[in-house]
Amino acid sequence: MMTENSSTMVAASLYKPLLPFVERKGSLMIGLRRQMVSRRPRCILVKQGTVKRCVAALLVLSIISIFCYTRYLVNTPFSSLMRRDSRLEPSIRCAILSGATRVPAVAHDHRSAARLRIDPKVLVFVETTYSRLGREIAELLVYNRIKYKVEVSGKSLPVLTNLDKGKYGVIVFENLNKYLQMDKWNRELLDKYCREYSVGIVGFNPPSEETLVGAQLRGFPLFIHTNLRLKDAALNAGSPVLRLTRAGETAWGELPGEDWTIFSANHSTYEPLAWATRNSEDFLSAEMSRTPLATVIQDHGVYDGIQRVLFGGGLRFWLHKLLFLDSLSYLSHGQLSVSLQRFLLVDVDDIFVGEKGTRLRKDDVVALLATQQRIQQLVPGFRFNLGFSGKYFHHGTSEENLGDDLLLENVDSFMWFSHMWNHQQPHLYDNITQLEMDMTLNREFAKEHGIPVDSGYSIAPHHSGVYPVHEMLYEAWKRVWNIRVTSTEEYPHLRPARLRRGFIHRNIMVLPRQTCGLFTHTIMIQRYPGGREKLDEAIQGGELFQTIVYNPINIFMTHMSNYGNDRLALYTFESVIKFLQCWTNLRLITAPPLQIGERYFQLYPEEGDPVWGNPCDDVRHQRIWSHNKTCEQLPRFLVIGPQKTGTTALYTFLSMHPDISSNFPSPDTFEEIQFFNGKNYYRGLDWYMSFFPVPKNATARYLFEKSATYFDGDLVPRRAHALLPHAKLVTILISPARRAYSWYQHTRAHGDQVALNYSFHQVITASDTSPKPLRELRNRCLNPGKYSQHLERWLSYYPPQQLHIIDGDQLRSNPVETMNELQRFLKIQPPFDYSKHLRYDPKKGFFCQVVNEDHTKCLGRSKGRQYPPMEDKSYKLLQRYYLSHNTALVKLLKRLGHRSVPQWLKDDLSDTVTA
């Protein structure tokens, strides 16, 4: 007979053999069954009481085994079969959603006549350029496209006015103490500005190691208590500051951080804007512990004539970010108000695409329709936008194929757009005919199944071909689908999201696309990074919530698999929309993509012009870049001009070098491409790269481009740096007066009627009321010679070590040494011996290329022309005109480390010129 101890041993012996099966992701249930069968005779021999214990032990083991097996199944496709009935349901509750009207939603209009006297710009005083809160403030302003200027506290005040208008609508202090402790002169100057122009101040009370209890703010009837832990935030529904933010609810739970400041006042000028309650026993009186504690307080300006909003915490708490935006709006009299209208478009990519077991089933489609209907009650006209790849229709399980059918039965309930027929990335196509054929297959599928084909919108899988641009995609889109709008996360880069922008290429509008945290693989809540807690955090005041708050246009990317399985997308969007309704006065609306695109570029017309970045500097962009392109097919240095300084001669000398290769000539502009400064830029990166050969030996070849018109182009430095941030720059400078005269003679030689009809002196003295052609010639003569101004623009994008300045007179008189210096700057090894390949030609009056050992090959007849000398009165006038520019150039050259000033510059500055 077995004792009680022996029965325990039996149970242990039953469990122990199961351990290998629990640890292995293999035949667990088979092993369990075998163990149970092998132990059955021993159970028969025990007493009745022992049998009960044995059964109980087996029951415990069964539960443990099922638990382990379930954990294993979660990571397999079978998990979808086990979890279909345990999906998340939105749990957002608030008074407004239940129809309560006891707290009316008031979005105050902050506009007043005072806003006409100030510019819509924020002046931010930070402790240091790297302080955390200062960066958070700047990022929030960038998110909302609010102009701002950052100044380090303690320095002299910047200029606050421009004529009779204030330059800033709100003053923000990252550290309120920096405002309170300003020196008397600056404080009086700043306060006077705020009173005169009705400009308000936002201040944040900083955390400190010392805990203050009832400490008075310097100079104000306001007291603070610091280093508190708080919870359960609520808003003052009667505050006139609230516009974006809706009051009436409580944000339950702990507030982030343990260094909160609360305010108490004994003057009527102060009114609480937000409250919280204590979270622990801190240094508070019994009376204070029973009352709400003011975490944000408004100063109406009764005390000293200046309105303020003071924050007792930073921007870590999501509600403070909303209140900060409302404070900017209120204190600037509406100049810094953000729009309350939000467009919302939810794309569902990959319809009909997905592995078996992860696709939409019939009940998922029913849930999709039901959720869409509920959202429509909050967002009028809302419809999910489905992107389909017809090749994979009916490629799921039998139940998933029924889901496909139900989608098409309800085709009119959704918006639709074409994905790709076979879901292939467009940049992988190098034959436009094949690309168009595949697009046509998707179009024919749509017609066959009643899917609308006139949306004018399409999305490329993985954003391929949209940016970096694959020209075939744009061309095929226009021919097959008449596409007029698309969207991507990649411009100018996937992260950070706040910097995403739109552009227009080949008349197709490209809109910035947002992410909601759901990707193809996040189909189960257990596999969501951080689980449901992290997802809810994004929804309830976190990243997703803030994305919609900050962006007037929101286009979200989701995938079909996000709507099956645990239906995370349905949960996410219904929840965040409800949370937005609870806490904001935003008006959510939806519209077809084409209408949204037109609205976007009405709001931001300046974004229509693209800025082509360098795909070689972004691993993600290289992956979705055409395989027939190479990073070595871009120039390593640019000769940027200006015109008529010797750039063609330099181009010729460089082309003689065996390791240097220029671009192919252009049929329109000869050796110059003129890409960055004109209409050619809109032809795109593919067009530009087509002018450059693929180097046979990348380490030994130096590609370059020379376009002399780049030097003084306003947009050129930004565009060039975006595409060629590591390129070196070469410029040539001569006397600006002589350069202007040379340009005038150049235009005369080419038959320009204006130059033929007017003398040089008449051109350079033309007034702003002169005929337009004359003014244009005057500007082309004079403007490029403002060397320091244009060089400063280039140096705002490129570091000085990437810029090489050539003295044009030295290039003409001593090209060998000039070219040797240039080779050293470019770090070309081995150097080319120009002394053997250049010789002075007395007939031409300049150096020419040596050919066949004893002959020279010079530039064409148009180069080195002898012009009549410039009139002395014109030279004197140009000396006066360029005096300030030449003086600035001397200072710039010294700053750049140039040891000597060019002789022509000394000559232009040598004479004392009188009017």
DSSP letter (8 states) at residue 83: S
Measured distance CA(776)–CA(754) in Å, rounded:
10
The Cα 654–Cα 899 span in angstroms is: 25
Of 121, 578, 629, 644, the catalytic one is 644
Short-list 27, 76, 558, 74, CA closest to 356: 76
The dihedrals phi and psi of 295, each to the nearest 5 degrees, come to -100, -25
Query: Would the annotation count 875 as a binding residue?
Result: no
Taking only Cα atoms into account, the Rg of the chain, rounded to an integer number of angstroms, comes to 36
Secondary element (H or E) of residue 299: strand 293-299
**71 CB-near residues (< 8 Å, 6+ apart):** none
Neighbouring CB atoms inside 10 A of 175's CB total: 19
* Separation CA 882–CA 787 (nearest Å): 9
DSSP per-residue letters across 390-427: GGGTT-S-HHHHHHHHHHHHTGGGSEEEE--TT---GG
d(C-alpha 487, C-alpha 512), whole Å: 6
Q: How far is CA 377 from CA 261, 371, 486, 548, 761, in A?
A: 40, 10, 27, 18, 73
867 marked ligand binding residue: yes
Peptide bond before 240: cis, by omega within 30 degrees of 0? Answer: no
Please spell the DSSP secondary structure of 96-124, one letter per residue. Answer: TTTT--SS---------GGGGGB-SEEEE
Q: How far is it, in rounded angstroms, from Cα 644 to Cα 640? A: 12
Instruction: Determine the straight-line distance between the first and last CA of the chain, rounded to whole angstroms.
Output: 128
Q: Could you give phi then psi for residue 687, rounded to 5 degrees?
A: -60, -45
Tell me: is residue 910 an annotated ligand-binding position: no
Q: Would you call 728 a catalytic residue per the annotation?
A: no
**Is 874 assigned to a binding site?**
no
Tokens, residue 56 = 């109980």
Q: Is 852 exposed, middle or buried (0-12, 13-18, 19+ CB in 10 A)?
A: exposed
Q: How far, in Å, are 264, 663, 685, 693, 821 from residue 633 at the CA level?
A: 66, 10, 11, 6, 25
CB 661 within 8 A of CB 701: yes
273: nearest Cα among 343, 325, 209, 215: 325
Q: Is 797 annotated as a binding residue?
A: no
H-type alpha helices, 410-484: 432-448, 471-476
What does the alpha-carbon distance between residue 772 and residue 787 come to, in Å, rounded to a whole number?
Answer: 24
Give the neighbor-by-neighbor strand order of the sheet with 508-512. 485-488, 508-512, 503-505
Residue 236 and residue 272 in contact, taking contact as beta carbons nearer than 8 Å = yes
Contacts 24+ apart (CB under 8 A), 888-897: 888/788, 888/789, 889/733, 889/787, 889/788, 889/791, 891/788, 892/788, 892/791, 892/792, 893/805, 896/800, 896/803, 896/805, 897/800
Please indicate if the annotation marks 864 as binding a ligand: yes
At 192, which amino acid appears? K
Residue found by looking up tokens 């909160």 in the block: 260
Which residue in 631, 635, 697 sits closest to 664, CA to CA?
635
Known catalytic residues? 644
Residues within the annotated binding site? 742, 863-867
Residues within the annotated binding site for 3'-phosphoadenylyl sulfate? 742, 863-867
